[in-house]
A and B are shown apart, each in its own frame.
Chain A
Amino acid sequence: MKTWKEVPPGAVITDPGSSRKFKTGSWRAFKPKWIPENCIQCLFCWIYCPDMSVKVKDGKRTEFDYDYCKGCGICALECPGKKGNKAIVMEEEGK
């Protein structure tokens, strides 16, 4: 940890991308769970995620990035699912 003599003036961050070091996943109270058999790959979850916690590879979504997912639940709310079955559901952490 930096001392008061070492902190940068005005708390300006001069190291781009340093927010990667701040793992906000620890804030989560509810955790999104992905159910691949109900997923139609519409990527709504990827669009709506206010962080970058829905990982997409070759145009298809993969597992959540739980290091940064704060558990806001927007992805679960927006998920259209398949035939009325959600592809994302929120589960209480630690259950």
Chain B
Amino acid sequence: MHRKVAANGNEAIANAMRIANPDVCGAYPITPATEIMQRFTTFVSNGQVKTEMVLAESEHSAMSACIGAAAAGGRVATATSSQGMALMWEMLFIASGLRLPIVMGMANRALSAPINIHGDHSDGMGARDCGWIHLYCENAQEAFDNMLMAFKIAEHMDVRLPVMVGMDGFITSHAIQTMEWIDDETAAKFIGEYKSTNPLLDIKNPVSYGPLILADLYMEYRKAQEHVMSGVPKIVLAIANEFEQISGRKYGLFEKYRLDDAEVAIVVMSSAAGTTKEIIDQFREKGFKVGLLKPRLFRPFPYAEVGEALKHLKAVAVLDRADCFGGSHGPLYVDIASALYNYAQRPVLINKIFGLGGRDYMPDHAEYVINELLQITKDGKVKSVKEYIGVRE
């Protein structure tokens, strides 16, 4: 029985964790992800899950506890945000390098300084190259669905990598939205039983985690990890197909919205995609061929598939909710540009930085960007490749 409810993103993620019933959760609270573990510890106290909670003294320690527990052979999950994610950073690479299938909810939030508790993608983008699989969500429904799928992706025998599931801090984590639960039994059956590989607690078969690997073999391990990552998109799609059978909801590596016959398009992640779709509909009604591509699997980035989906367009605007100081453009722009560069015919590409520190992304921002794209298709002129929008000049 699938139930329609009013829930926020944190509640969605906490419930997906409840269904997954992890053996261990190492956690430390941080706004706006605090509510995920707050709700989850209630499930622990009520005996709804058999999870061992490890309340650590920092996020570095919380992730360390997760790593130890995953190496011991348990199903492990946690959640974090912003500074907490930044403090975990060192351990994130260890989780992926040891091939531990830890699942982490992430309420995306800006980084200090200046300190700010609201939503942007600086935390996730800062951890984009740490060997974790990244899934990004537009709303609470996607947060619930992706979190369920995250366990199955991470624990797939051909993956065995950690997964983080990002949703916009406050906008998605705290705003109450209409969504649909999948009944516990069906969802738990979908995730399946966890089978550990080389668990430390199997004392009859002793193993060592974290050996020193020097110049003679380190590169082979890195190549092996890159190879595993390159196989992830295929598995993400296969699991999405399985998920569609229990939910009726279809997921790809990214979402295409009115894109196939479009001439111009916006590429944007997470909650801003919702606002953008609304404005695209308004432009479509006036006869303008506008579309959208919303990345879902951000790491590994599906370069070939994204390139194929965008190559026919005349002009594309990539909207980044984070900036790379001293880099050329926003992080998403750089990936989209890489996906398109090898095509002889490719769209004109512009980059907008928006929504930092929770600054609202308004319908007129989307309109402004689409009008600029339409202008480029007429005169071919780009006034500036990178621009901050919604900023006081």
Contacts and interface: CB of A to CB of B under 8 A. Distances in A.
B230 interface: no
B98 A10 contact: yes
B98 A12 contact: yes
B10 to A, nearest CB: 31
Given A2-B217, A2-B220, A4-B221, A12 B227 contact: no
Interface of B is mostly: loop
A11 B211 contact: yes
B144 to A, nearest CB: 29
A11 B223 CA distance: 12
Interface residues of B, number: 24
Nearest to B205: A14
Nearest to B222: A4
A84 interface: no
A4 B223 contact: yes
A13 to B, nearest CB: 4
B220 A10 contact: no
Given A14-B205, A14-B207, A16-B206, A9 B220 contact: no
B58 interface: no
A12 B160 CA distance: 13
Contacts of B341: none
B99 interface: yes
Interface string B202-242: 00011111110100110111011001100000000000000
23 contacts: A1-B216, A2-B217, A2-B220, A3-B220, A4-B219, A5-B224, A7-B220, A7-B221, A7-B224, A9-B99, A9-B160, A9-B197, A10-B97, A10-B198, A11-B98, A11-B213, A12-B98, A12-B99, A12-B208, A12-B209, A13-B208, A14-B198, A14-B207
Given A11-B210, A13-B207, A14-B205, 16 more contacts: A2-B220, A3-B220, A4-B219, A4-B220, A4-B221, A7-B221, A7-B224, A9-B197, A10-B97, A10-B198, A11-B213, A11-B221, A12-B99, A12-B198, A13-B211, A14-B207
